Chain A
Amino acid sequence: MTPAPSSSEALRAPLVVEFPFTRSLGPVQSDFLTGLRERTVLGVRTTDGRVLVPPVEYDPVTAAELRDLVEVAPTGTVTTWAWNPSPSRGQPLDTPFAWVLVRLDGADTALLHALDAPGPEAVRTGMRVRIRWAERRTGAITDIACFTPDGDAAAPAAGPAPHSGEFTEPVRGIVAPARLDYTYAPGRAQTRFLAALAGRRTVGERCPSCRKVYVPPRGACPTCGVATAEQVEVGPHGTVTTFCIVNIKAKNLDIEVPYVYAHIALDGAGLALHGRIAGIPYDQVRMGLRVTPVWTEDGRYPDHYRPTGEPDADYDTYKELL
Chain B
Amino acid sequence: MSKEPVAVVGVGQTQHTAARRDVSLAGLVREAALRALEDAELTWADIDAVVIGKAPDFFEGVMMPELYLADALGAVGKPLLRVHTAGSVGGSTALVAATQVAARIHRTVLTLAFEKQSESNAMWGLSLPVPFQQPLLAGAGGFFAPHVRAYMRRTGAPAGTGALVAYKDRRNALRNPYAHLHERGLTLEKVRSSPMLWDPIRYSETCPSSDGACAMVLTDRAGAARAPRPCAWMHGGAMRSEPTLFAGKDCVSPRAGRDCAADVYRQAGITDPRRQIDAVEMYVPFSWYEPMWLENLGFAAEGEGWKLVESGITELDGELPVNPSGGVLSTNPIGASGMIRFAEAALQVRGEAGEHQVEGARTALGHAYGGGSQFFAMWVVGDAPPTG
Interface residues of A (CB under 8 A from B): 11, 13-15, 17, 19, 21-27, 29, 56-63, 65, 172-173, 176, 178, 184, 186, 190, 194, 207, 210, 212-214, 221-223, 241-248, 250, 252-253, 255, 258-259, 261-263, 270-271, 274-276, 287, 300-301, 315, 319-320, 322
Contacts and interface: CB of A to CB of B under 8 A. Distances in A.
A58 B30 contact: yes
Contact of A262 (B131, B146, B147, B196): B146
Nearest to B145: A244
B201 interface: yes
Contacts of A248: 197-198
A242 B252 CA distance: 11
Interface of B: 20-24, 26-27, 30, 44, 58, 60-62, 70-74, 76, 116, 118-121, 124, 128-139, 142, 145-150, 153-154, 195-201, 243, 245-252
A243 B149 contact: yes
B248 A223 contact: yes
A284 to B, nearest CB: 13
A163 B196 CA distance: 55
A58 B50 CA distance: 16
Contacts of A57: 24, 26-27, 30, 71-72
A19 B74 contact: no
Contacts of B243: 222-223
Contacts, number: 172
B20 to A, nearest CB: 7
Contacts of B76: 60-61, 63
Contacts of B130: 15, 184
B55 to A, nearest CB: 14
Main secondary structure of the interface of B (DSSP, over half): loop
Contacts of A190: 132
Given A17-B58, A300-B132, A320-B248, A263 B153 contact: no
A271 B247 contact: yes
A213 B246 CA distance: 10
B61 A176 contact: yes
B247 A59 contact: no
Contact of B146 (A65, A261, A271): A261
B119 A24 contact: yes
16 contacts: A15-B128, A24-B23, A25-B24, A26-B23, A57-B71, A173-B21, A184-B132, A242-B146, A242-B150, A247-B196, A247-B198, A261-B146, A300-B134, A315-B153, A319-B154, A322-B150
A261 B62 CA distance: 33
A295 B150 CA distance: 28
